Structures are given as C-alpha cells and as structure tokens.
Amino acid sequence: MFVLSSPSGAGKSTICRNLLRDEPELEMSVSVTTRKRRGNEVDGTDYRFISEREFIGIQKADGLLESAEVHGNYYGTPREPVEQAMAEGRDMLFDIDYQGALQLFEKARTDVVSVFILPPSMEELRSRLERRAEDAPEVIDQRLQNSRKEIEHWGEYDFVVINNDLDKAFSEVSAILTAERLRRDRRPGLHDFVGTLLK
C-alpha cells in the first residue's frame, strides 16, 4: 500500500496520475465519496460518487478500510478491491487525507509506505487553489484552514517530499516507490532466485 497525502493544491493528484501512467503494476484505490463531482472528475476513476445513504450502508456492512469527514462530506476506501490486490501481490496507490492514512497505518503498518507532500509555501498553496478557480473565495479560505490541519500531521509519514517543482517532486515520489519495491523483505521470490544462483 503506497499512501500519498497532502493538503489540496500541493500537487498530489497530478503526481498520482503520472505514477499510474508510468507504473502499469500500480493500481489506484478509488475512494467513495458523498461530495459533489467537480467539472473535470470522472465517476469511477477519481472517486465513486455515492449518496450519503449508500455510504452509511457500506460503512455499516464493514465495507470500508478507512473513512473520514472533510468539509462536511464523507470519504472512504472500499475494503474488497484492496484486499484482493494485496492477495494477488499487486501494489495499491492511496490518495487519501491524514485521517484516512492514520486509520490505514493502524491496520497495516508494515504493508504501508507513506509519503507526505508539502507545498513550498502557504502563499503558493493559495495561488494554486485560486488558479484552479473551482471554489468560491470563502471555500478557498476554508480549504487553507484545513490544509494547515493536514500539514500538522506530516510527522506521521515515512517520507516527505516538498513540491517546489512538479517534475522533481514526481521523480522523488517515483524513486520512493521503486526503492521500496527493492527492499529484500518485500521480495520473497529472491530466496528461490539465490537458491538457483548458488545451485
């Protein structure tokens, strides 16, 4: 499980998109949410957009690995696709906030590699949110307030990347994924390989 968190506007979504483009063996965990779809979002790709009634139904059936409420909307990670991917040895990418991440850490600390993406400054974060031009000024103010809360949890992640330059930040996140896949203890097949080598 490869977890990326960051305040909105810090570049996390673009980095996720690029990772999925370059890493065919990486699969996105698509969260469910009760919030409204934004203009450029695709249902089933960015999120599965569901009603509050549906959300509560899935949650009651223990069908969520983690869930959180942000800006008055519910978000959650469906359990089944993740458990299936893990069982088949595939890597899962999670674009979730600190509330969700902390729940995942508790449930599966050893299987989780977590990266927090920091903006270079709060001014830059505000101007990125303004350029996105999707939210009213008071919503941007609230997002920035929530960003501060999100940033306060940077210390609970394994890795930290500062997104000053998107290409550099992406290549750093990509290096973390590459490196963590090369950890000896994540490669049970190596025992057989070395056995054959020394035969």
CB of 75 to a second copy, least distance (A): 24
Nearer to a second copy, 56 or 190 (CB): 190
As a whole number of angstroms, the distance between CA 117 and CA 109 comes to 19
Minimum distance from residue 144 beta carbon to a second copy (Å):
11
Residue 83's alpha-carbon distances to 29, 75, 88, in angstroms, are: 11, 18, 9
Binding site for a second copy (CB under 8 A): 115-116, 118-119, 121-122, 148, 151-152, 154-155, 157-162, 171-172, 174-176, 178-180, 182-184, 187, 190, 193-194, 197-198
> Min. distance of Cβ 78 from a second copy in angstroms?
29
- Residue number with CB closer to a second copy (108 or 179): 179
Q: Radius of gyration (Cα) for the chain, nearest Å? A: 18
Sheet holding 32-33, edge to edge: 48-49, 32-33, 73-78, 64-70
Pick the closer one to a second copy by CB: 49 or 154.
154
Q: Is residue 127 helix, strand or coil?
A: helix
- The span from the CA of 68 to the CA of 137, in Å, is 24
Nearest residue (CB) to a second copy, 54 versus 158: 158
Nearest approach, Cβ of residue 110 and a second copy (Å)? 15
